[in-house]
Amino acid sequence: MTRRTVLIAAGGTGGHLFPASALASALTARGYRVELATDSRVERYRAGFPAEKVHLVEAGTITGKSRLAAPVAALQLGRGFFQSLALLRAARPVVAAVGFGGYPTAPPLVAARVLGIPVILHDANAVLGLANRMLARIATAVATSVPDPEGLGPARSRAVLTGNPVRPAVIAAAGTPYAAPLPGGRLRLLVFGGSQGARVFADVVPAALALLSPQDRARIDLVQQVREEDAVRVGQTLAGAGIAAETAPFFADLPARIAAAQLVVGRSGASTVAELAPIGRPSLLIPLPIARDQDQAKNAAVMAEAGAATVMAQSGFTPEALAAWLTAVLADPSRLAAEAAAARALSHAGAAERLADLVEAVAAGRFAEAGGS
């Protein structure tokens, strides 16, 4: 019996690919073939993505500042569209599923609609990204990670709350219970800036730790994601402060690192908050300030309102501010246990399976029965 194929389209960053990978695993377990359409940034994640084929599709961002950016992007998107027509005709998917955001999703999903193949979108944030907002008008269904995210517009009647699927590694890490630091004990601190890293953490965190009292510095066990170009200066600052630290440009086992941490400092991208919740770890979140839709600020606000995180604007994220905040945490680490429990309460367990259910309902023409229109 020929297995049915689902095409997943996702931008080539962790925030798009991690939930896409979780859905791919769920669909593979149900007997589907999965193919992935993405861009060249996928190379870091390609080996672990459960797809039988990976297609690199040309695409461009139409919001560039240069006057030439829009026509160049339009040309790239056009080429990607014709590439996508060819791969869809070869793959013959039952659903040209599931777009997870980013401009590389536009060519395959538009091509799918031209060929009469149904389209599902998934958005991981509290506000739909620009590509998903544009594609929502052609989608059969829009899966969301939070109730009623901003930007749905007329697609609200086709929205289904599934939660944000997380990788099997996250589900495994979620089985590790949280152990709060003991008064006067050591604090396992994890710092990372999302799949692309963040220079601001290299600028601020080591300098902040150096400002702590000698007694507090001795209590810190640090694991920090550091870009290669920042590694030497970060290492020198940490060594000068006597901080026990492990640094690397990328952690392939990040869910396990989160589970081992007692406190996380990071951005508030969708994949970060989706992994902090089921694993259940307290955090200090620094939203990316230049995000077009302020999606990270809205994601962080959801965590903070639930009592699961502290939010600090990047403009106020200075060595002095971070040192003062860490000093207060080290003086009263019991607060971290409550934040860990609040984070876990935000988890949408089973999101990958719910999204796989939606894929099957759409493929079978049963979406209206499942609550869509």
CB-based contact 100:338 (threshold 8 Å): no
State the pLDDT at residue 60: 63
Residue 256 buriedness (CB in 10 A; 0-12 / 13-18 / 19+): middle
State the pLDDT at residue 373: 42
Please name the residues in contact with 366: beta carbons below 8 A apart, sequence gap of 6 or more: none
Whether 204 has a pLDDT exceeding 50, the answer reads yes
State the pLDDT at residue 45: 73
Which amino acid would we find at residue 256? A
State the pLDDT at residue 67: 55
Whether 192 has a pLDDT exceeding 70, the answer reads yes
Whether 371 has a pLDDT exceeding 60, the answer reads no
Whether 64 has a pLDDT exceeding 60, the answer reads no
- Interatomic CA distance for residues 141 and 349, integer angstroms: 21
**Mean pLDDT value across residues 207-233:** 96
What is the CA 35 to chain-centroid distance, rounded? Answer: 20
Whether 1 has a pLDDT exceeding 60, the answer reads no
Q: How many residues does the chain have?
A: 373
Neighbours of 32 (CB within 10 A): 22
Q: What single-letter DSSP state applies at residue 125?
A: S
State the pLDDT at residue 268: 94
State the pLDDT at residue 77: 79
CB-based contact 39:104 (threshold 8 Å): yes
Kindly report, residue by residue over 234-274, the tens digit of the pLDDT. Answer: 999 999 999 989 999 989 899 999 999 999 999 998 889 99
State the pLDDT at residue 342: 97
The more confident residue out of 47 and 118 is: 118
CB-based contact 200:194 (threshold 8 Å): no
Q: Give the pLDDT band (50/70/90) at residue 62.
A: low
The three-point CA angle 263-172-348 to 5° equals 75
Q: Give the pLDDT band (50/70/90) at residue 195.
A: low
Whether 209 has a pLDDT exceeding 90, the answer reads yes
- Residue 224: which H helix or E strand, with range? strand 220-225
Considering the chain, what percentage of its residues have pLDDT values greater than 70? 92
- Lowest model confidence (mean pLDDT) among 27-41, 47-61, 279-293: 47-61
For the chain, the average pLDDT equals: 90
Kindly report, residue by residue over 86-107, the tens digit of the pLDDT. Answer: 999 998 888 766 889 888 899 9
Whether 370 has a pLDDT exceeding 50, the answer reads no
Kindly report, residue by residue over 297-354, the tens digit of the pLDDT. Answer: 999 999 999 999 999 999 999 999 999 999 999 999 999 999 999 999 998 889 999 9
CA distances from 292 to 129, 296, 321 (A): 9, 10, 26
Predicted TM-score (pTM) of this structure = 0.83
Q: Give the pLDDT band (50/70/90) at residue 108.
A: very high
